[in-house]
Amino acid sequence: MANAKTDFQPHSWSRYLYRFHRRRALESNPKQMALSQVVSLIGTVLSGYLFELNKDHLVGFVGAILVMPGVFDLTSSLGAAMSAKLNHTLEFSSDSAWKNYWRAVGFSLKEIIAAGILVALVGGGLAALVFGTSAWQVVWLTFGALSLTAVVGLPIIGYLTIKVRQRSINPDDVIGPIQSSLFEIFSILAIVLIVVSTT
């Protein structure tokens, strides 16, 4: 019989994301919150710098800038939800941490791919409608960037969640700013890589 406490349940991602952020916001003191904001700020400014460094490539591919916020948003929110769910599961699960890790990463990858199809189609449609560019080119760019970012980012965040937990630190306090910066950086790099390889 399925064990509700140990199985990696396909609950709504936003429930875990909400509780993850709510717990961080309510239990962190102002100094801790300010420190996590500094980490997040440095990471996101770095992603802005990467954006600036590669703007000539991006401006040549109509739709690349359009899809960027969608790619950031989806990978970052599902990455945070995965970390929160994994942390929660590890508290109750009788399975090994690494078994739960692969289950969590696999499940979140499937979620990103499923949600990514929708985001890619909408992005491609918008680009074709407004700019008259090829919808399929933008669809492939979006889906490719989401998949690449997820394949690289999710295992790293899952790994960090387990390692931080093993050092008796609550991952909810540490992973948040790291994951948002990492996914922003990976998203930009993935988009640039796909744009450069197709032009």
Binding site for another protein (CB under 8 A): 2, 9-15, 17-19, 21-26, 30-31, 33-34, 37-38, 40-42, 44-45, 47-49, 51-52, 55, 59, 62-63, 65-74, 76-78, 110-111, 114-119, 122-123, 126-127, 130-131, 180-181, 184, 188
Query: Do residues 123 and 139 lie in contact, with contact meaning Cβ atoms separated by under 8 Å?
Result: yes
Q: How far is the CB of 103 from another protein (least distance, A)?
A: 13
The beta-carbon contacts of 28-33 under 8 Å, at least 24 apart in sequence, are 28/173, 32/173
User: What whole-number distance in Å separates Cα of residue 199 and Cα of residue 57?
Assistant: 9
Q: How far is the CB of 166 from another protein (least distance, A)?
A: 26
**For residues 26 and 199, which CB has a smaller minimum distance to another protein in the complex?**
26
**For residues 58 and 162, which CB has a smaller minimum distance to another protein in the complex?**
58
Q: How far is the CB of 183 from another protein (least distance, A)?
A: 9
**For residues 4 and 91, which CB has a smaller minimum distance to another protein in the complex?**
4
**For residues 55 and 99, which CB has a smaller minimum distance to another protein in the complex?**
55
Those residues whose C-beta lies under 8 Å from the C-beta of residue 120, and which sit 6 or more positions away, are: 67, 138, 139, 140, 142, 143, 146
Residue with tokens 């960027």: 68
Q: How far is the CB of 115 from another protein (least distance, A)?
A: 4
Q: How far is the CB of 141 from another protein (least distance, A)?
A: 12
User: What whole-number distance in Å separates Cα of residue 91 and Cα of residue 87?
Assistant: 7
**For residues 161 and 180, which CB has a smaller minimum distance to another protein in the complex?**
180
Those residues whose C-beta lies under 8 Å from the C-beta of residue 30, and which sit 6 or more positions away, are: none
